[in-house]
Amino acid sequence: MKDIWFIDDNDIFRTIIQGFLKNTEYSNRVEYYTDGDEGMMEAIRRNKSQLKMPKLIFLDLNMNNLDGWQMIDLLNVYEGIPTKVVIISSSNSVADQSRAKESRMVVDFLTKPVSKTQIETTLNQYA
């Protein structure tokens, strides 16, 4: 199972992240999803019985269907899982950053655009 998930509805951003991670030790550990509803919920259903959740989720906040906050609320149901969430958002809202600090799963908040160095540093720290 791939233990790092990137969830973002922006195709260009996902392609950039794939480029950042190409030929790194993380390239084969990453699964990409277009939003919480399409990708994450299916992945959770698929893995729930095995209790295999990713170590790290990079999560956009503003997405269609199931947004980042809704996804965090659903993940909080699975108490005791060691999953860490890093929010990657174009929002620089103080309210969003405060809300992120209140979540037990959120370990960092990165504001887009992000650099390859920021992604690599975050992966080295949490994955």
Q: How confident is the model at residue 63 (pLDDT cuts 50, 70, 90)?
A: confident
Q: How confident is the model at residue 58 (pLDDT cuts 50, 70, 90)?
A: very high
Q: CA 54, 46, 64: angle at the middle one, nearest 5? A: 75
Q: CATH number of the domain at 120, please.
A: 3.40.50.2300
pTM, 2 dp: 0.89
Q: Which residue has the higher pLDDT, 83 or 121?
A: 121
28 lies in which domain range? 4-126
Tell me how many domains the chain contains: 1
**Average pLDDT of the chain?**
87
- Alpha-carbon distances, residue 99 vs 8, 50, 63 (angstroms): 19, 30, 17
